[in-house]
Amino acid sequence: MIIYFIAALSSFLSGMGIGGGSIFILLSILFNILDLNEARTYNLLLFISVGIIISLKNFKQINNQKSKYLKGIFFIGIGALTGAFFSKYVPEKILKILFYIFLMIIGLYEIIVSLKNIKLDKNNNEKGVY
């Protein structure tokens, strides 16, 4: 039953575009509900379903900018196939650690810039009021 709660939470966060997929994998492994392969498979299923519903919801916008979307799919798709092909030959653990550190830096950068912008907005609003 708990897997469905985790799925609901991660789908909601995925729909917001803030990385719900990683939460599904992490929580389902931490609670010992699934092994890594199962967690990754179910996570991909959740991610694809959320993507389909978002694409249907924004179909008009996507249709208006068809070439932009197709180019994105084409280039990222080429990269994904290349990455999947080479995944067998690269030292996974070292790469994973480096990638997590890189993502952490990105997260910290997001936090700092967002806090700065929130403060800036607050100051601008106060100036507007007084």
Partner 1 sequence: MKYIIFIFIGIINGLFTSGAGQLLIFYLIYILKKDTKKSREYSLSIMPLISIPTFIIYCLKSDIDIIICIFLVLISLFFGFLGNIAMKKINSNVLNLVSGIFLVVITVVSLWRTL
Output DSSP code: residue 18.
S
Residue in 2, 118, 123, 124 binding partner 1, rule: CB under 8 A: 118
Residue in 2, 31, 64, 80 binding partner 1, rule: CB under 8 A: 80
Chain residues 16-45 in contact with partner 1, contact rule CB under 8 A: 16-23, 25-26, 29-30, 35, 37-38, 40-45
What angle do helix axes 20-30 and 36-57 make, rounded to 10 degrees? Answer: 150
Residue in 2, 31, 64, 95 binding partner 1, rule: CB under 8 A: 95
Nearer to partner 1, 96 or 130 (CB): 96
Q: Which residues, other chains included, contact 19 with Cβ-Cβ below 8 Å and sequence gap of 6+?
A: 13
Does residue 2 belong to the site contacting partner 1 (CB under 8 A)? no
**CA dihedral sign, ordered 51, 57, 60, 65:** negative
